[in-house]
Amino acid sequence: MNCAQICEHLPEFIDDRLAAGTAAEIRRHLAGCQACRHEYETLSATLQALDAQPEAEPSPRLRENLLASIEEEKRALRAGLRRPAGQPSRMRPWIWRTCLQGLAACVLLAFGFLAGVRRASAPAQPAADSTARQLAELNSRVDSMGRLVSYTLLQQQKSSANDRLEGVLTSATLQRPTENVIDNLVSTLVLDPSVNCRLNAVEALYAHADSDVVRTAIRVSLPREQSPLVQLAMIDFLAAVRDRDAAPAFQKLSASALADPSVRVAAGRALTQL
Amino acid sequence: MIAAFTEFSVSSARAAARITPADPVDCPTPDSDHELMLSVREGNLDALGELFERHNGRLFGYLVKLTGDRTMAEDIVQTVFQRMLKYRHTYRNEGSFTAWMYHLARKCAADHRRKSAALPFAADPEALSKQADGSPWADENAASVDDRALLRNALDRLDPADREILLLSRIKELSFAEVAEVLECSAGAARVRAHRALGELRDHFLKLQRKALP
C-alpha cells in the first residue's frame, strides 16, 4: 500500500477494526514513514479526545414523561379508547393528579346536587327520563371542568412544550369545547414551535372538522408548515373532510421539488380523493 | 402515511445477533433490543421502558454533541421515544433497533432544526453558553487549554452534516452499513464522508491547540 492507501485505512486501524494482515502492513509502513506516522498520531489524538467527551446525563423528567405516556397508552388500550398505533401523551403525574382531583371534586359536587334535586322533587317523571337528565347534567359539569383545565393550560404562554401538549391533549377529550379552546388549538397549530404540539393540535381539530374556521386555518397553514410530519397530518385532515378548496395547495405541494417526497406523494393522492 | 417517516429497515442479521448473553448458563437470557421492540409492537408497552433505560443516555449524549444544546437534545430524545410508542406498528421484523432509533432521531433533529430556524425564539440566557456557536471563529478568544473544550469547539466548527456522520460513526453499536442506512446513502459513501469529517475535525482541533498555547 502507498501512503494514500495507508491514510485511507488509518481510522479503522486506530479503532482496531482491520484484518490482522492489513494492520500488520500498516504498522510496518508507519515505522518507516514519518508523514504517515504524523497523520496517525494526530488522528489518533483527535479520536481519543472525541471519545473522551463526557457523557451527558438527561434529566429524570424524560423518564417520568415516558413512563407516564406508556401508562396512559396502556389505560387507553385497555379501555378501548385508542387504536394500537394511537396517540401518546406526555402527561406528568402531577398534572394527572391535578386534573383528576378537579374532575373528581366536580363529579362529587354534581352527584350531591343531583341527589338533592332528586330528593326535593316529586317523582313525576318516568325513571328513565330522570336518569338521562341527571347523566346529561353530570356530563355537562365534568365537561365544564375539563374545558377549564384545558383552557388554563393553553393560556399559559410561558408554559413548557410538555404543558402545552397537555393542553392540546386535554382539549381533544372535550365533548363541547368553547370557541376559546378551538381558537387556542388553531393558534397552537399555526404558531407553536413544537412539532408534537402542532401534530396533536391537528388531530384534536378532527372533532371540529365541520367548522369552516378550522378547515380554513389548516388549509392556510399547510403551505407554511415546515415539518413533513405535520404536513402529512394536515393533508390527511383536508382529504378526510373533502375540502375542495385545498386542491390548489395540494397541487402546489405535489409538484414542489422542495417538499418531502412523502408529502408530494400524499398531496397527489389527496387530490384524487377530493 | 406517517409511517413513511418511521418505517425503516436494514438488512442486518448481524445487528439482530449483536447482543448476546454474557453467560447463557446461569443468567436468564436478556432480550435483544430487536426482540424488545417487537414485543412493544405486539402490545407489551412496558418493554419500551427497558429500551429507554438501555439507550436514552447514549442517544442523549449523541444529540448533545450534535446540537450543542442540552434542552434541544432532551426534547429530541423525548420525541424519539414518543414516536416509537405512537408508531410502534411501523417497526420492521428484520430491522436493527439501534439503526431505527438513530434514523428516527435524525428525522426529529431535522424537524427541530427546521422549526427553530423558521421561528423567532426567546433565548434562555442560561443556555446561551451551552449552545453550539455557529458563527465562524466566534470562539477564537475563548480558547481553553482543556482538550475537551477545544474538541467541543472544533466539533462546533464542522459542517452539521459532517458532524452528524462523524458522531454516528463513533457509536459502537452502529456498523458503517447501518450508519449508511441511517443517512440513506451507500456504506462506501458513509465511510469516505466520515473519514473526511474526521480529517477536518483534526485540522480544527490542531489549530485551536496551537492558538491555546501560551
Spell out which residues of chain A touch residue B170, defining contact as CB-CB under 8 Å.
47, 50-51
Question: CA A82 to CA A89: how far, in whole Å?
Answer: 12
Indicate whether A159 and A32 sit together in one domain: no
- Among B103, B167, B202, B203, the strongest candidate for a mutation testing the A interface, having the largest count of A CBs within 10 A, is B202
pLDDT at A98 over 60: no
Among A20-24, A188-192, B150-154, the range scoring the smallest mean pLDDT is A188-192
Task: Using CB atoms, pick whichever of A55, A58, A235 lies closest to residue B74.
Answer: A58
ipTM for the complex shown = 0.71
Residue A196: its pLDDT value, please?
A: 81
Q: Which chain A residue lies closest to B78 (C-alpha atoms)?
A: A62
pLDDT at B17 over 80: no
Spell out which residues of chain A touch residue B86, defining contact as CB-CB under 8 Å.
85-88
Residue B194, Cβ density class (10 Å: 0-12 exposed, 13-18 middle, ≥19 buried): buried
Backbone angles phi and psi of A168, in degrees to 5: -65, -45
Q: Do B111 and A229 touch (CB under 8 A)?
A: yes
pLDDT (tens digit per residue) in A224-233:
888 888 888 8
Spell out which residues of chain A touch residue B49, defining contact as CB-CB under 8 Å.
66-67, 70
Predicted TM-score of the model (pTM):
0.52
Distances (CA, A) of A195 to A230, A256, B33, B148, B209: 7, 22, 27, 33, 40
Indicate whether A170 and A267 sit together in one domain: yes
Q: Do B150 and A74 touch (CB under 8 A)?
A: no
Indicate whether A159 and A256 sit together in one domain: yes
Residue A39: its pLDDT value, please?
A: 92
Q: Which chain B residue lies closest to A236 (C-alpha atoms)?
A: B1
Q: Specify if A163 maps to a domain.
A: yes
pLDDT range class, residue B157, cuts 50, 70, 90: very high
Angle, CA A67 vertex, CA A62 and CA A70 arms, to 5°: 125
Q: Specify if A123 maps to a domain.
A: no
Q: Specify if A80 maps to a domain.
A: no
The total of structural domains in chain A comes to 2
Count Cβ–Cβ pairs < 8 Å, chain A vs chain B.
Answer: 135
Q: Do A262 and B5 touch (CB under 8 A)?
A: yes
pLDDT range class, residue B198, cuts 50, 70, 90: very high
Q: Specify if A218 maps to a domain.
A: yes
Q: Do A61 and B88 touch (CB under 8 A)?
A: no
Question: CA A162 to CA A59: how far, in whole Å?
Answer: 14
Q: How far is A61 from chain B (nearest CA, A)?
A: 9
Indicate whether A13 and A139 sit together in one domain: no
Q: What is the mean pLDDT of chain A?
A: 76
Q: B129 near B65, Cβ under 8 Å? A: no
Residue B139: its pLDDT value, please?
A: 45
Indicate whether A36 and A140 sit together in one domain: no
Residue A105: its pLDDT value, please?
A: 64
pLDDT range class, residue A237, cuts 50, 70, 90: confident
Q: Which chain A residue lies closest to B119 (C-alpha atoms)?
A: A193
Question: Which residues share a beta bridge with B91?
Answer: B8
Q: Which amino acid is at B137?
A: W
Q: Which of A31-35, A58-62, A95-99 has the highest mean pLDDT?
A: A31-35
Q: A218 near A231, Cβ under 8 Å? A: no
Q: Specify if A229 maps to a domain.
A: yes
Q: Which residue has the higher pLDDT, A128 or B195?
A: B195
Last residue of a domain, which of A28, A46, A64? A46
Question: CA A211 to CA A186: how far, in whole Å?
Answer: 12
Q: Specify if A246 maps to a domain.
A: yes
Residue B17: partners with Cβ closer than 8 Å, 6 or more residues away: none
Q: Which chain B residue lies closest to A56 (C-alpha atoms)?
A: B61
pLDDT at B11 over 50: no
Q: Which chain B residue lies closest to A158 (C-alpha atoms)?
A: B122
In the block, cell 401508562 appears at A71
Spell out which residues of chain A touch residue B163, defining contact as CB-CB under 8 Å.
none
pLDDT range class, residue A75, cuts 50, 70, 90: confident
Indicate whether A141 and A258 sit together in one domain: yes
Residue B137: its pLDDT value, please?
A: 43
Range of the domain at A163: 135-273
- Among A14, A67, A71, A226, the strongest candidate for a mutation testing the B interface, having the largest count of B CBs within 10 A, is A226
Q: Specify if A104 maps to a domain.
A: no
pLDDT at B7 over 90: no
Residue B50: its pLDDT value, please?
A: 92
Question: CA B167 to CA B62: how far, in whole Å?
Answer: 7
